[in-house]
Chains A and B, each alone.
Chain A
Amino acid sequence: MMKNMTMRQKRTLLRIGIAAVLFAVIFFLPFEGIRKTLLLLIPFLVVGWDVLYDAVRGVLHGELLDEKFLMTIASVGAIAIGEAEEGVFVMLFYQIGELFQSVAVTRSRRSVAALMDIRPDIAHVERENETLDFDPSEVSVGETVVVRPGERIPLDGEVISGEALVDTSSLTGESVPRTVCAGDSVKGGFVDTSGLLRVRVTAPFEESTVSKILDLVENAVEKKAKAEHFITRFARIYTPAVVAAAVVCAFLPPLLGLGSFSLWIRRALIFLVISCPCALVISVPLGFFGGIGGASANGILIKGANFMEVLANAETVLFDKTGTLTKGTFRVTKTSCTSEIDKIRLLRAAASAEAQSLHPIAKSLTEALNELTGESPVKPNAVKEISGKGISADVNGKAVLCGNRKLLSENGISVPEVGEAGTLVYVAEDGYYLGWVLISDEIREDAANAVNTLRSLGVKKTVMLTGDNEKTAKSVAEAVGLDAYRASLLPEEKVTAMEEYLNGPERKGSLLYVGDGINDAPVLMRADVGIAMGGLGSDAAIEAADVVIMTDQPGKLPAAVSICRRTLRIVRENIVFALAVKILIMILGVLGIAGMWLAAFADVGVAVIAILNSMRTLALRGGRLRSAADVNVPR
């Protein structure tokens, strides 16, 4: 702990040490009465002179209820009524508490900074056959930077040569490294772990992903949570209230003839010892700060502490389909064939016929064939594209028809009706029907798991809003296990649909919307919390959303909810615990059971415990979500 302290903190520590030793020595010296009091003034001044100084200055500025002033009255008061030991002890403990708070906060701040330590500091730029080092902010778009193994990629760009494994964890929270080679785009902040890369810069530093993320997290503390506002308001009335109670305690009982003034003044001083709301004022924002930091280490960027409260209270979750629950890419997901041989024959015919087409369907057919057999499609002849219907081609001397139902039936081939969701491609060879291939968007591996986990976290309703047709929507909703879905919605209808849920009669908790940020900015803004997934790609998403999930894993969503819940619980624990201890001390003090020793000890203790408790938020992870689905490599 020592080496993490600032100079100032070290000096305070030294003063506390000296004062403590002096205090202990004097305590056991055989002096009594006024002599002992005078001697005790030495450690008192050593440890507390700055508090006294600040108190006097505060009073001159008209700050009567400054906690340093109150601490001064409490300790000087104790000395004045002949309880010098208690006075010194209170001051000593006050300083220990202050020092601890300051060290704890410095440390948390550094931990969060370390979590967010993604700012690249150097760029090796190729200029005129030379490689020169620059600050990333001085590199312009279009220049080429060299990244060596072990280094951080300085700016967003595209790989022009080289191949390497890159660690994306600082940006995405993703633990499995990704392989990149020429043509792939990379983000500044990724760490090159294996090979040499040459990267052409595509965005200036200020616009790079890493700058945006840093900005976002740094500004997050500006948006305060309700609990923080509560504490600010509370702190404002707490001190005056405690001081008022102290005054009442000092004068009312003796006036009523319940004991001497000196007895009650002594008890009243206890109130002043606990008059600082420090434990709360520090631990509550620190808790949120840690929670936001911990979440960002998991690839979840939360734009403000206020959103943590709303997220924790999630009741309804609306999902966008394409790009959120599904990958937004198309793949062969099913064929009509039951045997492997038939399937190969079907795919070979279809992929070859489509081989020269640029349609995404052609690509997915080729991929499917390649996956199954390892072979590439045959080059087709006499390719004829029949607009809106499909393709006819000569593949190895056979006339292949590949397209929708209409294409085949027009050519006299009868085709069965198939009730599958997605795009169906029917294939015929030499007038003979081979079967169909289903091409559909793939559901993300952890989507079902995410929905399930959300439900176990108490989310009551999960709904999908999509512009896609009924059939596709239904199949995705069922596969993922959603409660409901709304299909064929135009973008503006999504807002209307969401409003129905927002204005739902039984709604108590909050409404979350999860989208990919493409075309759904209005919905993202309208929701209680708008969450953008895979936000690294889209600027609009980072702007419109309140929470950005940097990877495209729906599994991060329950993780975010659970991090927020646990952060809030820690914050609440602190509020209740600190208030309970303070009230207890006041009661014990009035009853004459607790002395100033105990009050000082308990007050500092509660602050220390609350701060340590808050620091736990830094280590919050998504919980039991590190399943196989959680570590799939994103595209």
Chain B
Amino acid sequence: MKKVFRLEDLDCANCAAKMERAVAGIKGVNSVTVSFLTQKMTLDADDERFDDIVKEAVKLIHKVEPDCTVILK
């Protein structure tokens, strides 16, 4: 499943790259792009674990930049 999330207050380009690396490391993630410019994360991950993966991704993103919020739609 592929889903796009908006990232609010994503403030630094290097952080986006770090988030991308961190989220890509989660088991079950097929591909992920964190775009600093569009302030979006495109996550493609396994269907069965998708919700758990999203939760974990949110946690990792917070760790990199605590001010950044993931808008879950």
Q: Which residue of A lies closest to B35 (CB)?
A: A221
User: In the complex, A219→B2 CA distance in Å?
Assistant: 12
Partner of B35 from the list A98, A222, A278 (CB cut-off 8 Å) is A222
User: With A224-B33, A278-B12, A285-B35 given, can you name 14 additional A-B contacts, CB distance below 8 Å?
Assistant: A8-B11, A57-B66, A101-B13, A109-B37, A109-B38, A218-B40, A221-B35, A222-B33, A222-B42, A235-B14, A235-B17, A278-B14, A281-B13, A285-B37
Partner of B37 from the list A67, A221, A278 (CB cut-off 8 Å) is A221
**A278-305 at interface with B (beta carbon < 8 Å):** 278, 281-282, 285-286, 289
Spell out B's residues near A (CB within 8 Å): 9, 11-14, 17, 33, 35-40, 42, 63, 66
Chain B residues whose C-beta falls within 8 Å of the C-beta of A286 in the assembled complex = 37
Please state if A282 and B33 are interface contacts (CB–CB under 8 Å).
no
A276 at interface by CB-CB < 8 Å: yes
A243 at interface by CB-CB < 8 Å: no
CB distance from A72 to the nearest CB of B (A): 15
CB distance from B28 to the nearest CB of A (A): 19
A414 at interface by CB-CB < 8 Å: no
CB distance from A228 to the nearest CB of B (A): 10
Please state if A67 and B38 are interface contacts (CB–CB under 8 Å).
no
Please state if B37 and A277 are interface contacts (CB–CB under 8 Å).
no
User: In the complex, A440→B9 CA distance in Å?
Assistant: 59
Please state if A285 and B66 are interface contacts (CB–CB under 8 Å).
no
Contacts A8-B9, A57-B66 given; indicate if A221 touches B14 (C-beta within 8 A): no
User: In the complex, A61→B9 CA distance in Å?
Assistant: 21
User: In the complex, A11→B38 CA distance in Å?
Assistant: 23
Q: Which residue of A lies closest to B9 (CB)?
A: A8
Q: Which residue of A lies closest to B16 (CB)?
A: A281
Chain B residues whose C-beta falls within 8 Å of the C-beta of A276 in the assembled complex = 14
Spell out A's residues near B (CB within 8 Å): 8, 57, 61, 67, 98, 101-102, 105, 108-109, 218-219, 221-222, 224, 232, 235, 276-278, 281-282, 285-286, 289
User: In the complex, A281→B13 CA distance in Å?
Assistant: 6
User: In the complex, A102→B40 CA distance in Å?
Assistant: 16
How many A-B residue contacts, CB cutoff 8 Å?
47
Chain B residues whose C-beta falls within 8 Å of the C-beta of A8 in the assembled complex = 9, 11
Please state if B33 and A232 are interface contacts (CB–CB under 8 Å).
no
Chain B residues whose C-beta falls within 8 Å of the C-beta of A108 in the assembled complex = 37
User: In the complex, A154→B42 CA distance in Å?
Assistant: 28
Partner of B36 from the list A57, A218, A235, A285 (CB cut-off 8 Å) is A285
Contacts A57-B66, A61-B63, A222-B33 given; indicate if A102 touches B14 (C-beta within 8 A): no
Partner of B11 from the list A102, A218, A289 (CB cut-off 8 Å) is A102
Partner of B14 from the list A57, A219, A222, A277 (CB cut-off 8 Å) is A277
Chain A residues whose C-beta falls within 8 Å of the C-beta of B12 in the assembled complex = 98, 101, 278
Chain A residues whose C-beta falls within 8 Å of the C-beta of B37 in the assembled complex = 105, 108-109, 221, 285-286, 289
Chain B residues whose C-beta falls within 8 Å of the C-beta of A278 in the assembled complex = 12-14
User: In the complex, A101→B66 CA distance in Å?
Assistant: 19
Chain A residues whose C-beta falls within 8 Å of the C-beta of B40 in the assembled complex = 218
Q: List 17 A-B contacts (CB under 8 A).
A: A8-B11, A61-B63, A67-B14, A98-B12, A101-B12, A109-B37, A221-B38, A222-B33, A222-B35, A222-B42, A278-B13, A278-B14, A281-B13, A281-B14, A282-B36, A285-B13, A286-B37
B12, B13, B17, B63 pick with most chain A CB within 10 angstroms = B13
Please state if A232 and B17 are interface contacts (CB–CB under 8 Å).
yes
User: In the complex, A277→B36 CA distance in Å?
Assistant: 15
Chain A residues whose C-beta falls within 8 Å of the C-beta of B36 in the assembled complex = 105, 282, 285
User: In the complex, A515→B39 CA distance in Å?
Assistant: 34
CB distance from B37 to the nearest CB of A (A): 5
User: In the complex, A620→B13 CA distance in Å?
Assistant: 24
Chain B residues whose C-beta falls within 8 Å of the C-beta of A232 in the assembled complex = 17
Please state if A281 and B17 are interface contacts (CB–CB under 8 Å).
yes
User: In the complex, A101→B10 CA distance in Å?
Assistant: 12
CB distance from B18 to the nearest CB of A (A): 8
Chain A residues whose C-beta falls within 8 Å of the C-beta of B63 in the assembled complex = 61
Chain B residues whose C-beta falls within 8 Å of the C-beta of A235 in the assembled complex = 14, 17
CB distance from A177 to the nearest CB of B (A): 31
User: In the complex, A98→B40 CA distance in Å?
Assistant: 20
Q: Which residue of A lies closest to B66 (CB)?
A: A57
Chain A residues whose C-beta falls within 8 Å of the C-beta of B17 in the assembled complex = 232, 235, 281
CB distance from B61 to the nearest CB of A (A): 13
Q: Which residue of B lies closest to A113 (CB)?
A: B38
User: In the complex, A474→B9 CA distance in Å?
Assistant: 59
Q: Which residue of B lies closest to A62 (CB)?
A: B63
CB distance from A224 to the nearest CB of B (A): 8
